[in-house]
A and B are shown apart, each in its own frame.
Chain A
Amino acid sequence: MSHEVIKHPGLNLGAAHGPQHDASEALMFGFWIFLMSDAILFGLVFASYVTLVNATAGGPEPHALYDIKSVFIETLLLLASSFTFGMASLALKYQHSTARLIGWLMVTLVLGVTFLDFELHDFVSMFAKDGVPSRSGFLSAFFDLVPLHGLHVAGGCIWLICLVGQIAKYGVDTQAKHGVMRLALFWHFLDIVWIAIYSVVYLAGLA
């Protein structure tokens, strides 16, 4: 069993799921490619940020704007949500009860929404310190990069709600399974992007 080739990134359903496992291969591969394309997108937004980080044009600088504690909490929230999503994936793979699957998904959702809430607070406090995107090239780049990740997370949250809705309506059918599996990839991927933001924007910015 364990010598089986893993068919696609993320937790594989495994042979126990029969044709649903096989059918996931192309779908997951497609989504994986999409994520790679998205990764390039983020990479370039990062590159833009790096080229503009010194272009403060006399406006506020990273030190004056970033709140490392809040960012640290956000990081923990996201990390925890990745773990809880992992638990949801396990519930799916090992066919635990639907309630358990939904439960883990909801915990993940709560963590995600809390993250967004913290992030919004960060932005608002930056605004108050004249840290608005139209103030300088640096702030433009910041407000391109970090909210872009935030938007992705928000999209993930909406998707998550829809999946829960689908499960409520149709049970854990093929499409719901594939949905959860793709969202899992998406969620873990966003985590990786956040590590880059955490390190490049915040830690390095305050270093």
Chain B
Amino acid sequence: MGVTRHIIYRHVGPDGPLGFPNSPTTFSEAATSQECTMMTIGDPCGRMRRSKAATSGSSVCVSALMLAGCSGDTHLSFLDPQGPVASGQRWHFVESLAVLLVFVAIPVFVLTAWFLWRYRYGAKSSRYTPKWNYSALLEIASWAGPVVIVVLLGIIVWRATHALDPYKPLASDQPALRLQIIGYDWKWLFIYPDQGIASIGVLALPVGRPVAIQLTSATVMQSLHIPALGSQIYAMGGMVTQLHLQADRPGRSLGENNMYNGNGFHQQRFSAVAMTPERFSAWVDEVHLHGIALNDQSLKHISQRSTRAELIAALSQPGASDGNIYFKGATDALFSTVVKATKSGTPVAPASVRQEFANRAPLAARKPTESATDKVQ
């Protein structure tokens, strides 16, 4: 960390999402801070260390809610699936890879090596037929082999693509949890419209219940990806995409943006934390109690081009001290408002071309955001 001025955002928060100073929780301060220390030491990946910016002002960390999330490493990969979508994808991946290795790679590798050795220049006794260049049988085999493989794969692919379409709601006896996600530069805002809360930096999910997500972007194109839970999907300004996920067991998974969107791109990460339904509702209550109001003013800050750490500094409010930010007062209308606003932009009225161009912001005036972020890096 000290080597450079980069602040790489670490997952300080997920295990203690509610880092409100002096938050009157049901957990004793002593117990939690002790636990924090313990976990800080015990965390094999050193994930508990905090960047200075993020920790400032935080003295207490309520992590009991998140114990499960803390217990292991972050799940990075769909090969270590935490839900039905990812495990379906893993199975499909293994199956396809096996077909390809067994029927494509191995035959080519073995035969080529064998031919090369047997028919090397020095080999005097192997057959040599310099003019032989056609054999109907071999030709047919060369075409038919791949055809068969592709047909086989094609069937698998057709089925898997439809089964795992991210737009397809997951079958479940529980109603899906609605979630709306807005991509900002360089953070995701997770809105729980039915709970009336929102968060940045941590995505809390109840275990065993499908999550129906709508995504949009308030800026450029982004791609939400939580490998251990399931698919990635683009989020685009003025548009709404959908994603369905589910976590099967408590745990913390890596979440990120996969579509480059500027200097803070690599810091646009978060933790998807799956927890038991009870803990989830406790978490929701907690956020209601201590979240920052999601109003015009905080939204103005959020929509700046800034990393999460910069945003926290800008908000300069308690409730953000563990590196994540929690909001109360999120409404159902917010998401569609953002979609519409992004889509319409600022209407331009003039009748003549000259005026039309006059309305565009001067290039020089558009620059500053870049230099602002340079400072932090």
B138 at the interface (CB under 8 A from A): no
Tell me the bound Cα distance from A57 to B342 in angstroms.
12
Q: When the two chains form their complex, are residues B347 and A130 in contact, meaning their CB atoms are under 8 A apart? A: no
User: Which residues of A are found within 8 Å of B349, using beta-carbon distances?
Assistant: 130
Q: When the two chains form their complex, are residues B348 and A134 in contact, meaning their CB atoms are under 8 A apart? A: yes
Q: When the two chains form their complex, are residues B344 and A130 in contact, meaning their CB atoms are under 8 A apart? A: no
User: Which residues of B are found within 8 Å of A72, using beta-carbon distances?
Assistant: none
Tell me the bound Cα distance from A89 to B250 in angstroms.
80
Mark each residue of chain A from 84 to 108: 1 if its CB lies under 8 Å from any CB of chain B, else 0: 0000000000000000000000000
A170 at the interface (CB under 8 A from B): no
Q: When the two chains form their complex, are residues A132 and B347 in contact, meaning their CB atoms are under 8 A apart? A: no
B356 at the interface (CB under 8 A from A): yes
Tell me the bound Cα distance from A57 to B350 in angstroms.
15
Tell me the bound Cα distance from A127 to B351 in angstroms.
7
User: Which residues of A are found within 8 Å of B350, using beta-carbon distances?
Assistant: 130
User: Which residues of B are found within 8 Å of A128, using beta-carbon distances?
Assistant: 351
Mark each residue of chain A from 54 to 91: 1 if its CB lies under 8 Å from any CB of chain B, else 0: 00011000000000000000000000000000000000
**A196: min CB distance to chain B, Å:** 27
B353 at the interface (CB under 8 A from A): yes
Counting chain A residues whose Cβ lies within 8 A of the other chain, the interface size class is: under 10
Q: Which residue of A lies closest to B352 (CB)?
A: A127
Q: When the two chains form their complex, are residues B344 and A132 in contact, meaning their CB atoms are under 8 A apart? A: no
A152 at the interface (CB under 8 A from B): no
**B351: min CB distance to chain A, Å:** 5
**B199: min CB distance to chain A, Å:** 33
Mark each residue of chain A from 126 to 142: 1 if its CB lies under 8 Å from any CB of chain B, else 0: 01101010110000000
Among candidates A58, A130, A134, residue contacting B351 with C-beta atoms closer than 8 Å: A130
**B345: min CB distance to chain A, Å:** 8
Mark each residue of chain A from 24 to 52: 1 if its CB lies under 8 Å from any CB of chain B, else 0: 00000000000000000000000000000
Mark each residue of chain B from 331 to 356: 1 if its CB lies under 8 Å from any CB of chain A, else 0: 00000000000001001111111001
Tell me the bound Cα distance from A134 to B353 in angstroms.
8
**B164: min CB distance to chain A, Å:** 28
Query: Which residues does A use to contact B, with CB under 8 Å?
Result: 57-58, 127-128, 130, 132, 134-135
Query: Which residues does B use to contact A, with CB under 8 Å?
Result: 344, 347-353, 356-357
Known: A127-B351, A135-B348. 18 other contacts (CB 8 A): A57-B344, A57-B347, A58-B344, A58-B347, A127-B352, A127-B353, A128-B351, A130-B349, A130-B350, A130-B351, A132-B352, A132-B353, A132-B356, A134-B348, A134-B353, A134-B356, A134-B357, A135-B356
8 tightest CB-CB pairs across the interface, nearest first? Answer: A134-B356, A130-B351, A132-B356, A132-B353, A127-B353, A134-B348, A58-B347, A127-B352
20 interchain pairs (CB within 8 A)? A57-B344, A57-B347, A58-B344, A58-B347, A127-B351, A127-B352, A127-B353, A128-B351, A130-B349, A130-B350, A130-B351, A132-B352, A132-B353, A132-B356, A134-B348, A134-B353, A134-B356, A134-B357, A135-B348, A135-B356
